[in-house]
Amino acid sequence: MSKATLAVIAAVSAGAGAAATAAVYSMRSDKKPAVTTTTTTVSTTSSASSVPAPVPASQVFSSSPTITTTTTPVPTPSTSPTAPVNPAGLFEYGFPGPVADLASRQALISSYDRRTRNPHWVAEHITPASLAQRGGDRKNSAFLEDPLIPDKFQAKLADYFRSGYDRGHQVPAADCKWSQTAMDETFYLSNMCPQVGEGFNRDYWAHFEDFCRRLTTRYPSVRVVTGPLYLPKRDPADGKWYVKYEVIGSSAPSVAVPTHFYKVIYAEEGTAPGGKVALGAFVLPNAVIPNDKPLSDFEVPLEAVERASGLEFAAKLPVARRKRLCAETNCSIVVKEYVERQKAFAKK
């Protein structure tokens, strides 16, 4: 890792923003990278103040929820008669994984991470028509454990109880007012991650979600992929880089608290196939962010999010069809106090 790269990461903090932190993943160097170790801090109670390609609409708005268990293909065992061992014999007892619980619901499509009890990613589709409809009411929705996830890998309601963190929607309920069923689906814990409440989930993050909705005033189709990140931070004591995050839970803490969150936005200029797509990638720290912080400070190259998450978001989108979102439109939030926003929501 080059000195310039290290300097970029070292400059990042909750106050300075997350753009530089994620940008490190888009940089290349022929030098030997610094050693990175991983640690996990476990806590049963805490205080947050202690501080693939675009999905077709036909899939996003399917009529009934489905789930697909995706596993890595099982290797074909060697047929060499001289081999004294058969490692593939293990598969007689089952395949260890990893497994991605891919769920397709009316409101969203998600991939679940059984290890962190958080989603890998959650995809949604919003349009002027979907936002104009009022078939759902948040007052009729309730947070639920996801029955499509095997019980031993589920995030539990009790895991969040008195944790100091909000159950932070990845696909917001406000994007799914067009149907009560769709809105209800956003309340499954498989669509949640622990988020800092005051100053983030109830403030800057909410304004960011509103920015995504406002894009539909210019674009007829907007797709958003949201998910957590666990990024390294340099320890000033020894100069080494560590991935360190809290884990919350009731009797057996198991739900990871992400250090950051990303959104990849696809603003489609038309509804016909083959049109231009304005792409935007953003990384925000899971921390209090002042409302006067420019949203553009959190814009990063798409490759940065891919390197940090291990995912690919536009492998089938030709470069010739791509535009940079923040060069096409004003990437900024409109600040509205959370309490006032909740009151306005209740009246609708």
Binding residues for Mg(2+): 201
Annotated binding site: 201
Report DSSP state, residue 199. Answer: I
> The tokens 């539990």 sit on which residue?
156
CA-to-CA separations, 315 to 24, 99, 142, 207, 322, in angstroms, rounded = 21, 22, 36, 29, 12
Whole-angstrom distance, CA of residue 176 vs CA of residue 138: 10
Whole-angstrom distance, CA of residue 29 vs CA of residue 266: 29
Beta strand segments in the chain, E: 36-42, 66-71, 99-104, 109-113, 118-126, 166-169, 192-195, 221-229, 233-234, 241-248, 255-256, 260-268, 277-285, 322-324
Catalytic residues: 169
User: What is the DSSP pairing of strand 118-126 with strand 109-113?
Assistant: antiparallel
Contact (Cβ atoms closer than 8 angstroms) between residue 299 and residue 281:
yes
Listed residue (236, 255, 256, 237) closest to 245, CA to CA: 256
Contact (Cβ atoms closer than 8 angstroms) between residue 230 and residue 258:
yes
Contact (Cβ atoms closer than 8 angstroms) between residue 247 and residue 266:
no
Question: What letters, b where the CB count within 10 A reaches 16 and e where it falls short, cover 315-339?
Answer: eeeeeeeeeebbebbebebeeeeee
Sign of the alpha-carbon torsion through 273, 316, 114, 264: negative
Listed in sequence order, the residues at least 6 apart from 84 whose beta carbon sits closer than 8 Å to its beta carbon are none
Whole-angstrom distance, CA of residue 104 vs CA of residue 71: 17
